Every structure is written in structure tokens, then in C-alpha cells.
Structure 1
Amino acid sequence: MRLAYSIKEGKVSGSLIMGKIGSYARQNSLAKALSELGKIKKTIFILDYLSDEDFRRKIQIGLNKGEAMSALARAIFFGKYGMLHEKDIQGQLQRATALSIIINAITLWNTIYLPKIVEKLKEKEDVNEDFLKHVSPLGWEHINFIGQYNFDDNSDYDLVDNMRPLKVI
């Protein structure tokens, strides 16, 4: 009860609680009670998952988004097989941050260009609107990862009005 009250009042952090419980003996009654509570929550989750098709679908959608993001990260970070070889934490953080920035840039680029591509496709053929909700901005097949890149800080490039022409095949 004291633990529940402390959590509810925000008097203690989750990491502190886990550290304290981890330092107790295995036969601790609080640790046993929390373990049993966790088993109950897990059982309820599994029963909900098995009985509710919409719940399963939502979970699958979330998993697919996570997998798409991971696949894009692997495609970008192919040089060292997705492994950080820097010995210091600062170097690892810089590499991870750079990867995150590149993923965000690709996602932004695709998000800006996807409506334009749909417009172009609608000019040529019928587009089923129901399929559009399944299109993700995490695709990268159109991106050259091993090319030469030029970043011009002096350019006054407006992404909305000054977009590159589309290459619709």
C-alpha cells in the first residue's frame, strides 16, 4: 500500500522502485506481490489480444510501423552492418543522432511529396482512396544511399512552392 501511494503521489521514480525491489531478497513479499500482479496484467492482455480482432489489428499496425522504421535505419546504416564501433559514448550518441536526423529527413521528404504523387497518379488512372491510408512515408526505394550529396546552406529553397519535378513512371 505504501508503494502504491508513493507512486500515485509521484514521490518516487520508477527506476528507484525497481532498484529497491531488485536489491531485496528473492523471498520479499512485495516483490512476490508485484510479480503476481504482473502475471494478472499479462493474462488480461493476452485474453484481450485473443478475443478482440480490432485490438490485434491495432497492435499489428504499430508493429509494422516500428519494423518499417527499423528497416529504413538498416538501409541507411549499412556500412558497418548496423553496429556502432565507436568506443566512447559521445561517438555512439553522435552516430545515433545522425541516423535519427536522416530518418526524419527522409520521412519529411516523403510526407511532402506523397500528396503530389497521388495527384499525379489520379491524372493517369483511378486511385482507390481506401489504399492510401496504408501508404507510409518510410519508403526509401527512390533514394540513392551511396551517391554524392551536396548541402548548400546559402540556398533559399522553399519546399512548398519550389518542389522538384516528379518522375512518375
Structure 2
Amino acid sequence: LARAVFFNRLGEIRDRSFEQQRYRASGLNLVTAAIVLWNTVYLERAAHALRGNGHAVDDSLLQYLSPLGWEHINLTGDYLWRSSAKIGAGKFRPLRPLQPA
């Protein structure tokens, strides 16, 4: 995940001063931690939604889920911030509908 976030510099910290290296590494840690938190919250919401829809979710299998995935995150490209799509404090974007297997 950190390599994907840090792709622009090919995964290398090229700043000359130790202080600048530390700032860059701290920023990378912050972004990575935010993605992991986001993924963890939404994985938990997805498990609750599955249970709420009557699907069996084996708790012993949840330990094998990882919040380090990033394929669903746009790390490059355009970011559109629509004012009509604002989500209130403490609210979440809706989960995608369950696709039949």
C-alpha cells in the first residue's frame, strides 16, 4: 500500500535533509494510515450489511481480511468534489449492492 501511495518517486525518498525526509515519511505514514482506517470501517460495514441481508458471515474467516487493499482507490487522475454529494458528519457513503455469485 505504501509503495502504491508513494509511486511518484518510485518508492524512494530523495530529499537531501533528514528533516525533509522525516516530513515525507510522516506524510506517507499519515496517508497510509488513513486508507487503512477507511478500509477497516468499510469492511466492518460490509460484514454487518451482509448479516443484515441474511447472509452467513463466519467470524473465524474475518481475521483473514486485510485493510491494506488499495485497488478501489484512485491514486492518480481527477478528483471531483461535488457539493451536491456532501455527506454529513458521522455518515457514510452507501455500500455497493451485493452482486449475485
Q: TM-score, normalised by structure 2?
A: 0.75
Whole-angstrom distance in 2 between the partners of 1:157 and 1:89: 40
Please give the residue correspondences for 1:1-169 in structure 2 after superposition, counting only pairs within 5 Å: 72-122=1-51, 123=53, 125-149=55-79, 157-158=88-89, 160=90, 162-168=91-97, 169=99
**Shift of residue 115 of structure 1?**
1.6
Larger relative helix fraction = 1
Whole-angstrom distance in 2 between the partners of 1:88 and 1:150: 35
Whole-angstrom distance in 2 between the partners of 1:101 and 1:80: 17
CA deviations 1:102-158 (Å, max 9, x no partner) are 01111111122112111223326332222112212222121111133478xxx8842
- For 2:14, give the aligned amino acid: H
Considering only CA atoms, is the larger Rg found in Structure 1 or Structure 2? 1
Aligned residues: 93
**Runs of 5+ consecutive residues of structure 1 not aligned to the other structure:** 1-71
- On the 8 A contact 2:87/2:93 being kept in 1, the answer is no
- For 2:65, give the aligned amino acid: V
Superposition RMSD in Å? 2.3
Larger RCO: 1 or 2 (CA < 8 Å, sep 6+): 2
Q: TM-score, normalised by structure 1?
A: 0.48
